[in-house]
Amino acid sequence: MEINEIFVTRSSMPPYEDYIEAIRPLWDSHWLTNMGDYHQELEKKLKEYLKVPELSLMVNGHMALELAIKAMDFPENAEVITTPFTFISTTHAIIRNNLKPVFCDVKLSDGTIDETKIEDLITRNTVAIIPVHVYGNICNIEKIQQIADKYGLKIIYDAAHAFGEEYREKGIGNYGDASIFSFHATKVFNTIEGGAVTFKDKNLYDKLYFLKNFGICDAESAVEVGTNAKMNEFSAIMGLCNLQYIDHVIQERRIRNNEYRKWLNDILGIRFFHDKPYVKKNYGYFPIIIEKNYPLNRDELYDLLKSHKYFSRKYFYPLTSDQECFNNKYKNIKLENARELSKRMLTLPLYEELQLEMIKNISEIIKNCL
């Protein structure tokens, strides 16, 4: 059987007829952006689904993080403790706010920030911690909150990978001072492009509203120096359509996650991340760690799968802190675990329509190397 190219992910889309019918009223109203009816409806429904008190929609996940940081009014050049094992957007959002990222190593068990190493990095210039729920693996929320309370720091969680997840039966967006979500086309839930900030402080809603809309408060006044980070109505409608199917999408991903684990569980040299208790997962990714006792290194396995038309991803490689745009500024920082994971992580294809036979084929390729 000839295999078509299988990529690491595939965008979730509602039935064609659903979306076409849903956007039809836009041809009557011609209201395409500027917080229209569908934008407002999606904000309301996402608050309910994510079980959060407040939510502000954004044009994408990056701007959600950039403006969440901006809304905190941190002093220029202050320090923010964060993780290097993340998509580069996390670091860019800090730097573009004229703040200094301070990189903390991660845990080999789940790839999240190592909470035992945070306090040693705190100085009088530290104002915040920005941890990442990487691959949907939830950070040690309790310990990070204790540290933040002790030193008077803000916490902004990058929850781009954690849509719909819950910890101790609470929506993950309830923790910290704010959390950001990405609704990019590659995520479990998408609005084509989009994102959101969740938070408890109601005053933040107006602050974020002005920041994402040029600071405009009425037809003649701008009260903030803002930007344009509004979600348009076509994206909001895609979100409303996809939200109807999100539980099915997550269930199908769970089935495929379990299928991978069934085939790969006993393969020497292949390791999975540890699952944290009390977490309701979204099964957004299926990462594996290639140990030293496996016959191939990570790059060799990547190339082998690619030769069979299975496209995995070296996620995250290189580390965010080691990207060339930073001119080797952070290369000498001691980040042993993060660099080790960066060299050994491979994210395998996973999406709700992926045939179970393809998962078996991928697993057999990995097993046959033994």
Q: What is the mean pLDDT of residues 208-220?
A: 91
Asked whether residue 145 carries a pLDDT value surpassing 70, the answer given is: yes
User: In this structure, which CATH number among 3.40.640.10, 2.30.31.70, 3.40.50.300, 1.10.3720.10 belongs to the domain 16-243?
Assistant: 3.40.640.10
- Nearest CA to 186 out of 67, 311, 44, 332 is that of 311
User: What pLDDT, in 10s, does the model give residues 167-186?
Assistant: 999 999 999 999 999 999 99
Q: What is the mean pLDDT of residues 75-89?
A: 98
User: What pLDDT, in 10s, does the model give residues 35-79?
Assistant: 999 999 999 999 999 999 999 999 999 999 999 999 999 999 999
Asked whether residue 33 carries a pLDDT value surpassing 70, the answer given is: yes
pTM of the model: 0.97
Asked whether residue 283 carries a pLDDT value surpassing 70, the answer given is: yes
- Tokens representing 351 are 């999406």
Which parts of the chain are beta strand (E)?
A: 54-58, 79-82, 100-103, 126-130, 154-158, 166-167, 170-171, 178-182, 195-199, 216-218, 221-222, 270-271, 279-280, 286-290, 345-348
The pLDDT value given to residue 1: 47
Between 249-253, 338-342, 346-350, 366-370, the lowest mean confidence (pLDDT) is in 366-370
The pLDDT value given to residue 56: 98
Sheet holding 54-58, edge to edge: 54-58, 195-199, 178-182, 154-158, 126-130, 79-82, 100-103
User: In this structure, which CATH number among 3.40.920.10, 2.40.50.140, 3.90.1150.10, 3.10.20.600 belongs to the domain 246-368?
Assistant: 3.90.1150.10
Residue extents of the structural domains in the chain = 16-243, 246-368
Sequence-distant (≥ 6) Cβ neighbours of residue 153 within 8 angstroms: 122, 126, 127, 128, 129, 147
Phi, psi angle pair for 79, to nearest 5°:
-100, 140
**Using 50, 70 and 90 to split pLDDT, how confident is the model at 223?**
confident
Q: What is the mean pLDDT of residues 342-348?
A: 98
User: What pLDDT, in 10s, does the model give residues 228-261?
Assistant: 999 999 999 999 999 999 999 999 999 999 999 9
Find the Cα–Cα–Cα–Cα dihedral 238, 86, 146, 67, rounded to 10°: -50
The pLDDT mean for the chain works out to: 96
The pLDDT value given to residue 2: 57
Between 4-18, 211-225, 349-363, the lowest mean confidence (pLDDT) is in 211-225
- Nearest CA to 52 out of 130, 134, 166 is that of 166
**Using 50, 70 and 90 to split pLDDT, how confident is the model at 268?**
very high
**Using 50, 70 and 90 to split pLDDT, how confident is the model at 220?**
confident
The pLDDT value given to residue 3: 64
Nearest-angstrom CA–CA distance, 96 and 370:
47
Rg, the chain, Cα only: 21
Q: What is the mean pLDDT of residues 25-32?
A: 98
The pLDDT value given to residue 217: 85
Q: C-alpha distances in angstroms, 244 versus 15, 144, 181?
A: 11, 34, 18
The pLDDT value given to residue 218: 82
**Using 50, 70 and 90 to split pLDDT, how confident is the model at 133?**
very high
